[in-house]
Amino acid sequence: MEYRRFGNTIALRLDPGDEIVASVLAAAQKENVTLASVTGIGGTDDAEVGVFDMEKKGYNRFAYSGTHEITSLTGNVNTMNGEPYAHLHITLAGADGRVVGGHLLRCVISLTAEIFLHTVDGRADRTRREDLQINTWSFD
């Protein structure tokens, strides 16, 4: 991974073998990001997404291999317990044109990825919502 900061925007280039979530968190840590929106595109052949099941209060997990375009990466970075926290969603298009997506759990780059972190002057920490079994924004 390489990145450059341009004002309030951090541009990341991921290379084959780089993992998206880990790379976004590493850049956020190095640049002291407390709040940012995330967008991106790229290519993968190894990804795992989740779709939240309200009844079981957990993710149904789906793994995808083979050539896929990352047609949309979107989400945010903020903090939880003083550490960077990424909440990302992804849409993937397979070689057959079939589109899948969900909450990004893991995505290893096969070709390249181009990702922007648009930082915001502010802070929105995460706290655990036990009733929902998720971590939500807290503006305290």
Residues contacting residue 43 through CB under 8 Å, at least 6 positions apart: 67, 68, 69, 70, 109, 110, 111, 112, 113
User: Is residue 8 domain-resident?
Assistant: yes
Dihedrals φ, ψ of 101, to 5°? Answer: 180, 180
131 lies in a domain? no
Residue 140, domain member (yes or no):
no
Residue 89 falls inside a structural domain = yes
- pLDDT, residue 136, reads 85
Residue 69 lies in a domain: yes
Q: Is the residue at 128 inside a domain?
A: no
Q: Is residue 137 part of a domain?
A: no
Question: What is the predicted pLDDT for the residue at 138?
Answer: 87
Q: Check residue 133 and give its pLDDT.
A: 83
- Whether 14 is covered by a domain: the verdict is yes
For residue 137, the model assigns a pLDDT of 87
Residue 140 scores a pLDDT above 80: no
Between CA 95 and CA 47 the distance in angstroms is 14
| Cβ contact 89:44 at 8 Å | no
pLDDT of residue 119: 98
- The percentage of the chain sitting over the pLDDT mark of 70, rounded to a whole number, equals 100
- The CATH number of whichever domain residue 70 belongs to comes to 3.30.1330.80
Report the number of distinct structural domains present in the chain. 1
Q: What is the mean pLDDT of residues 108-116?
A: 98
Domain housing 72: 2-122
